[in-house]
Copies of this chain bind each other. A is one copy, B any other.
């Protein structure tokens, strides 16, 4: 059971939303250690260790800033540190979270130009290139991409976005949200030429919500020198100055840093490549289950399939939210809901974070039994298909 539940239930809740994910016991037991003096000598040693250890997960040797704030804050930090009021950005609207980021930009005085999709695939790379080529005046100051769109289960090809920007010879910054991909799907801040990578603690990093991140290129740092958006809490400069010695300019979320330190150890012990392969495997098993049920995966470009979550479309005339409520009530599992234009049209299965084959099978069994219980038309063959795949006999 969780800390709070309104009625008794036995066994563990299946938290299969696409984040927050199931926090490993080892991380929870790091989290609950006594808080320490964040100005004392030991803290500096711990801080420096964590700041160094977090870089490889971003695929970077450049600074990674850790905010004592949940992921939305890191979106804001990416914008206010690099842009000025009135600046224009190209926002790749791949789904609900891209939409929310655009909304935020507007509140901060940034003008977004939307490059839409049908919410069934990643960012429109040719569209980006075309738009940038057309922007000969370089009015566009940044291209914003959500690496893994949590609302649709589509992963944008950031490497291709980079190549498109290079091909267009455009100087815009590349800002990428990896909140639901980092630590689950390979990401290369440096190699892909990302300028600001935004992330959060509560997905692939296997922590509770409460920390967020900006990995920052030299070009972004330079932009921060001239950016005019007012900023204080989110300001990179005092952060970088303090981080140099392992400290933070204001009170960090100390216990969350304990948890992060431990979670990074776990990722390293498993090996990042193994972690990514595990996510790929579970995503493939899930998609096979979905197809065997006769349902449709929301993402319909296989090159953009997400390894972190799968959004599943329910047949016309059926309610995804009704299905989710049935599954929660009967099988003690939380699934993600449809957002924005997908409201009640899809449910989302998170298969990211601290996860394994049998937890996935419990999850898929819960979906299959839920489909039946809720009267959603399907073929009862999804669980079998997933087992076929996982046990290696496809």
> Contact residues of A with B, CB < 8 Å?
1-6, 8-15, 17, 20-26, 28-42, 45-46, 67-73, 76, 85, 104, 107-109, 200, 202, 208-210, 229-233, 235, 250-256, 258, 261, 266, 269-270, 275, 278, 328, 330-334, 337, 354-359, 361-363, 365-366, 368-369, 372-373, 380, 383-384, 387-388, 390-393
Contacts and interface: CB of A to CB of B under 8 A. Distances in A.
Contact of A232 (B10, B23, B40, B108): B108
B358 A250 contact: no
Given A254-B209, A365-B387, A369-B391, A3 B36 contact: yes
21 contacts: A9-B270, A10-B355, A11-B355, A15-B36, A20-B251, A22-B35, A28-B32, A28-B33, A35-B208, A40-B328, A68-B73, A73-B73, A76-B232, A200-B251, A209-B254, A210-B210, A333-B358, A359-B362, A362-B365, A365-B387, A372-B393
B42 A5 contact: yes
A36 to B, nearest CB: 4
Given A22-B34, A230-B229, A209 B39 contact: no
Contacts of A390: 369
B354 A358 contact: no
Given A41-B328, A358-B365, A365-B365, 5 more contacts: A4-B36, A11-B354, A12-B34, A12-B359, A31-B31
